[in-house]
């Protein structure tokens, strides 16, 4: 439990630290892949989701605004807002 609390606090710290450099994109969800925890927009841009995102909250065809950071060549989602 202590490790979960530490990793959660670290994730929150990284989220706040990295949010200043994040990018935002508007688009429509084309595909959600639960096995790889990725979301692809209709423009073909793919985003990696962390385990904290409940994939059932999102569906293909939904218009969204995604805030993300590019880390090690991957687009890592910080926040998803349904439009």
> What is the largest distance, in Å, between two alpha-carbon atoms of the chain?
41
In tens, the pLDDT along 13-28 reads 555 554 456 899 999 9
| Region for residue 53 given its phi and psi (left: phi exceeds 0; alpha: psi -120 to 50; beta: otherwise) | beta
Tens digits of pLDDT across the chain (83 residues) = 554 444 455 555 555 554 456 899 999 999 999 999 999 999 999 999 988 888 889 999 999 999 999 888 899 999 999 98
Burial (CB count <10 Å: 0-12, 13-18, 19+), residue 29: buried
Tell me the C-alpha distance between 40 and 24, whole Å.
14
């Amino acid at each position: 439990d202590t490790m979960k609390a530490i990793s959660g606090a670290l994730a929150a710290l990284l989220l706040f630290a990295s949010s200043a450099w994040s990018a935002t994109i508007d688009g429509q969800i084309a595909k959600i892949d639960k096995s790889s925890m990725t979301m692809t927009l209709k423009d073909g841009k793919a985003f990696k989701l962390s385990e904290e995102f409940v994939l059932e909250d999102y569906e293909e065809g939904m218009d969204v605004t995604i805030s993300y950071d590019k880390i090690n060549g991957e687009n890592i989602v910080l926040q998803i807002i349904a439009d």
